[in-house]
Amino acid sequence: MAATPYCAAVFLDRDGVINQPVIIDNKPYPPKSLQEFVLIPGVSEALAALKEAGFFLSVVTNQPDVGRGTTDKKEVESIHAHMREVLPLDDIRVCYDDGRQVNSNNRKPNPGMILDASHEFSLDLTRSFMIGDRWRDIEAGLNAGCKTIFIDYHYDEALPRSPDYVVGSLREAATLILDLIKISY
């Protein structure tokens, strides 16, 4: 679905924002198959509320395990097909780079996936948000010029720069965004 010209967007990381990650040594990892994919409670309702408010919804996700050969690309694509069926998403963008490529503009923390979506769908990044649970998500959003919302699960990693907002879930992030747009209009 195409966005209206200069539409505001909500960019979302996948694992830890939309679905439950697999936690190993206090670090999150993606599910390896659709059978392991579990939506976080409240995600469907949060996305529906953002969609109803007029936001373009785009998932931007690094999936480096495909590049490393430890996860099958078909499994990732089946997860995304399922997400498109059950969630009101407009766009899903994936970077399969394993982190060893030089100058990969799409691998977060680089903003390539966000910038590409912005150009393709005429999105206004100054009115848009990036929601993530890892430092790479926040950096990608800041690098693209979006407001950033960090879902803090207290993982064992530091944030290089502070996000604009910190919440405990996507549901809280959606409520915050909806409150902010009420204030600005």
Summarised one tens digit per residue, pLDDT across range 110-135 is 999 999 999 999 999 999 999 999 99
Q: From the candidates 15, 65, 90, 91, give the one annotated as an active-site residue.
A: 15
The answer to whether residues 161 and 142 touch, using CB atoms and an 8 Å cutoff, is: yes
Whether the pLDDT of residue 103 is over 70: the answer is no
Q: Is 179 a catalytic residue?
A: no
The domain total for the chain is 1
The answer to whether residues 164 and 149 touch, using CB atoms and an 8 Å cutoff, is: yes
What is the mean pLDDT of the segment spanning 174-181?
96
Q: Which pLDDT score, from 0 to 100, does residue 129 have?
A: 98
Q: From the candidates 13, 65, 90, 137, give the one annotated as an active-site residue.
A: 13
Residue 33 domain flag: yes
Residue 3 domain flag: no
Q: Is 156 a catalytic residue?
A: no
Q: How many CB atoms lie within 10 A of CB 74?
A: 10
Residue 130 domain flag: yes
**CATH assignment at residue 18:** 3.40.50.1000
Summarised one tens digit per residue, pLDDT across range 39-85 is 999 999 999 999 999 999 999 999 988 988 888 899 999 999 999 99
Residue 2 domain flag: no
Indicate the helix (H) or strand (E) that contains 64: helix 64-68
Q: Which pLDDT score, from 0 to 100, does residue 98 have?
A: 82
Residue 30 domain flag: yes
Residue 41 domain flag: yes
The domain in which residue 177 lies consists of: 9-184
